[in-house]
Amino acid sequence: MDLHQPAGLFEGFGPNPLDPLGPRTTHRVAATSTAELRTLVRQQCPKSPGIYGMLDRSGQLIYVGKSKRLRIRLLSYFSPRNAEEKAGRIIQAAQTVLWETQPSEFAALLREQQLIRRWTPRWNVQEIPKRQRPVYLCLGGAPAPYFFLDAMPPADVVASEGPFRGAGKMQRAVDALNNFYRLRDCSSKQELYFADQLQLFELEQRPGCLRYEIGRCSGPCVGQCTRRQYDQQVAEAESFLDGFHAAPLETIRETIHRAAEMRQYELAGRMSRDLVSLEYLHRKLMFLAAARRKYTFVYSVPGHESEPDAQQNHRGVWYLIRRGEVCESIVAPRCPEEFQRARRRVTHWKRVLADPENHRAASPFPFTLSLVAQWLRKQPQELERTFHPSEAGRRYRALARS
């Protein structure tokens, strides 16, 4: 997927893989003055849930947002109270406002996150201070994986989690984890080989950095560990990432205690800063791990009640959520014919959830885990709308009666 906006005029938001009711029309209004733009938004934009975008004078997408009431949210950008705030600066730079309605606030949340990743608009990404940008904690980098941060997890990582805020804090946590698990953190250009790897000629190898010499790396650059030994360390690191234990925190706490007893205050202070970063990371990992354990179901989201002049594409949607991640969606059935069509897909979902091979597989939309977890934490009553695929018939009959 192209993560950078191409040059030229922005034509539309593009396809939405999680909208079974699409494709949707991208509405736009343009004006040379802010006052005229506000008038057009007030006249034409509905109060439906949806996402919106701002184009600058060169036709580039500079911002994407979402709202459960599009018109009200967009008009707030023009408020004099926001003139010196971020919203005011965005609208001053904009010459065109676009929007796309969505069937629900939840659908708008999903679409907003997908579009930010698709287009990386300036005011969503570049204008945010680097230390505040969301990052993913990744474990990857064949043939000797290690922890690193990335704006989006590469496809070939062993595991990833996030997003997390605070790049500085997260980088400190990454360094502490690589040290604890003795994983390399060298450049991809560094040549690696394992102790059990055959070589044509015996060559003297020198460490690529000091970390091996001070006991913080297993030394895959100098053949000081076998592939099996290194893979075992990676497996333990992945277990921490999954929230199964807190071994790095426990070890660091012991180190701080011993350092304080021996009056090694500089070491104790440095390790205390590492501990603060790891405690933040571990809390978030435990939150996401709980979501993975608890959230496997079909989530039935009713459609927004459309305005009289709105298009009929605000039907309810059933989302398959597996281990906290949105995987697929279908239109919520309202009649026997629609239910028969939906039943085939729901039967497939039932098989997917029953197959142990799928328990560890990631969905095509890993960014939805944090979104789903936070959505259901803030609105726990929404769990009443969830059900197992085997209960689809009962849910359909309840929908048909309503």
Position 130 scores a pLDDT of: 72
Position 129 scores a pLDDT of: 73
Q: What is the mean pLDDT of the chain?
A: 90
d(CA 169, CA 274): 9
Domains of the chain, each with CATH number or no CATH: 27-128 (3.40.1440.10), 132-293 (no CATH), 295-401 (no CATH)
Position 183 scores a pLDDT of: 98
Position 2 scores a pLDDT of: 42
Position 367 scores a pLDDT of: 87
Q: List pLDDT tens digits, range 204-258.
A: 667 668 898 889 999 998 889 999 999 999 999 999 999 999 999 999 999 999 9
Position 49 scores a pLDDT of: 96
- Please say if the pLDDT value at position 359 is more than 70: no
3-state secondary structure string, the chain? CCCCCCCCCCCCCCCCCCCCCCCCCCEEEECCCHHHHHHHHHHHCCCCCEEEEEECCCCCEEEEEEECCHHHHHHHCCCHHHCCCHHHHHHHHCCEEEEEECCCHHHHHHHHHHHHHHHCCCCCCCCCCHHHCCEEEEEECCCCCEEEEECCCCCCCCEEEEEECCHHHHHHHHHHHHHHCCCCCCCCCCCCCCCCCCCCCCCCCCCCCCCCCCCCCCCCCCCCCCHHHHHHHHHHHHHHHCCCCCHHHHHHHHHHHHHHHCCCHHHHHHHHHHHHHHHHHHHHHHHHHHHHHHCCEEEEECCCCCCCCCCCCCCCEEEEEECCEEEEEEECCCCHHHHHHHHHHHHHHHHHHHCHHHCCCCCCCCCHHHHHHHHHHHCHHHHHHEECHHHHHHHHHHHHHC
Give Cα 148 to chain centroid, integer Å.
Answer: 16
Say what percent of the chain tops pLDDT 90.
71
Position 37 scores a pLDDT of: 97
Position 170 scores a pLDDT of: 96
Q: List pLDDT tens digits, range 94-112.
A: 999 999 999 999 999 999 9
Q: List pLDDT tens digits, range 272-284.
A: 999 999 999 999 9
- Please say if the pLDDT value at position 153 is more than 90: no
- Please say if the pLDDT value at position 179 is more than 70: yes
